[in-house]
Amino acid sequence: MLKNHKKNYLKSFNLWVFIVLLLFSIFSYTARGNLKLDFTRGISSSILYPFEKSITFIKNIFGLYRKNTALRNEIATISLEIQRCANIKRENRILRELYGFKPMFDFNLIHCEIIGKSPGLYNKSLIIDGGLEDGIGKNMPVISANGLVGKIIETTQKSSELSTLYNRNFFVSAIDLRSRVQGIVKWQREKVLILDDVPLHSDVKVEDTLLTSGMGGVFPKGIFIGRVTKVKESPKEIVMHIEIEPFVDFSLLESVFAITESSTSSILSISVTDNLKMVMVHIDMFKVIKNPQSFSLNLSDNFNQKIGFFKKCRSSALRNINDVMF
């Protein structure tokens, strides 16, 4: 019994020695680091830290998403402006010949994320997260910051399908930025587009930039399409073989912008070829400043009436125009 008592005493003594040494070590460490221990705070911090970190992460994600969306809108708007400005110098010269008429451009952009792609190496169609309730409708042009992507072909309330440049059923009228030669851009194979319906010996060169021409009424004039990579002429053919590489890299595409109708209707819109052989006029109203008179042309009038009206104005009343009021 005495032996058991001694054993218990030794165990207790050893335990107390261990506790004293442990406390001494803790206090020594605390004193050296000038730290204060707060077990309650430490335990609560350990428990709440993962939740606080998750909440902060989610807040940062939403903040970045809002910033990215705003930046994408800004980039797309600036890109459109750059694409329009590329034609300004040449267009202004032509428009000055037409007594100062100025075309109006005013587009609304709807930002959409891509939520689905057609299978295969080449994305012939895309699904976006914008639909009827967002103001998106059929045949609306779709762009990215780099240029033309395609057009809307199907819509639901919350999503839409768009046909891309790589779809065999997609066609867009295009114009060469340098030479003003026009043709039809369509898909040929893999990632290669062609500019079709261009007569032999036309002035088209490798590295030329192609833009939408505005013909057809679906795509606004001046949106970048791609650059010419190959030009070939054959005596056996009546048209040139012109290959194009699109500016948009569809493999990296994550979001797009649908172009809605102009928020301010254009009162005057004129498209002219380089040699002025064709003049398409859309006039609602104009005002003569020096000799005030009012002229109007109903939009239901046929094309010949519009051209005749324009020629009449050009030869008489427009001599006194100093400005055009919109």
Domain boundaries, the chain: 107-260, 268-320
pLDDT in the model for residue 189: 87
CA separation for the pair 308, 40 (Å, rounded): 91
Mean pLDDT of the chain: 72
Average pLDDT over residues 255-270: 58
DSSP string spanning 295-316?
Answer: EE--TTS-HHHHHHHHHHHHHT
Residues of the chain by 3-state class (helix, strand, coil), percent to 5: 35, 30, 35
Query: Both tokens of residue 209?
Result: 């930039």
Higher-pLDDT residue of 4, 232 = 232
Res 209 pLDDT > 90 = yes
Query: Both tokens of residue 169?
Result: 């059923």
Higher-pLDDT residue of 119, 206 = 206
Query: Both tokens of residue 94?
Result: 């032509």
Higher-pLDDT residue of 189, 8 = 189
Tracing tokens 């295969």 back to the chain, one arrives at 120
pLDDT in the model for residue 151: 96
Higher-pLDDT residue of 277, 174 = 174
pLDDT in the model for residue 120: 75
Q: Within a 10 A sphere around the Cβ of 166, how many other Cβ atoms?
A: 23
pLDDT in the model for residue 79: 79
Res 199 pLDDT > 70 = yes
Average pLDDT over residues 75-94: 74
Query: What is the percent of the chain with per-residue pLDDT over 90, rounded to a whole number?
Result: 37
| Residue 150 pLDDT class (50, 70, 90 cuts) | very high
pLDDT in the model for residue 207: 94
218 in Cβ contact with 139 (< 8 Å): yes
DSSP string spanning 78-128?
Answer: HHHHHHHHTTHHHHHHHHHHTTT-------EEEEEEEEEE-SSSS-SEEEE
123 in Cβ contact with 163 (< 8 Å): no
pLDDT in the model for residue 322: 37
Tracing tokens 């867009």 back to the chain, one arrives at 172
Higher-pLDDT residue of 104, 64 = 64
Average pLDDT over residues 116-141: 90
CA separation for the pair 310, 104 (Å, rounded): 18
Q: What angle do CA 72, 75, 78 make, to 5 degrees?
A: 150
Q: Is 107-260 a domain of CATH 2.40.10.340?
A: yes
Res 202 pLDDT > 60 = yes
pLDDT in the model for residue 106: 57
Higher-pLDDT residue of 103, 200 = 200
Taken as a whole, the chain contains a residue count of: 326
Res 313 pLDDT > 70 = no
pLDDT tens readout for residues 10-60 = 566 666 666 766 665 655 555 454 444 455 555 555 655 666 666 777 777
| Residue 67 pLDDT class (50, 70, 90 cuts) | confident
Burial 224-252 (b: 16+ CB within 10 A, else e): bbbebeebeeeeeeebbebbbebbbebee
Q: Within a 10 A sphere around the Cβ of 34, how many other Cβ atoms?
A: 6
Query: What is the percent of the chain with per-residue pLDDT over 70, rounded to a whole number?
Result: 58
CA separation for the pair 23, 14 (Å, rounded): 14
pLDDT in the model for residue 69: 84
pLDDT tens readout for residues 227-251 = 999 999 988 888 999 999 999 999 8
Average pLDDT over residues 126-134: 94
Burial class, 149, CB count within 10 angstroms (exposed 0-12 / middle 13-18 / buried 19+): buried
pLDDT in the model for residue 12: 64
pLDDT tens readout for residues 156-169 = 999 999 999 999 99
Identify the three-state secondary structure at position 222.
coil
pLDDT in the model for residue 77: 82
pLDDT tens readout for residues 85-110 = 777 766 666 666 554 444 445 578 89
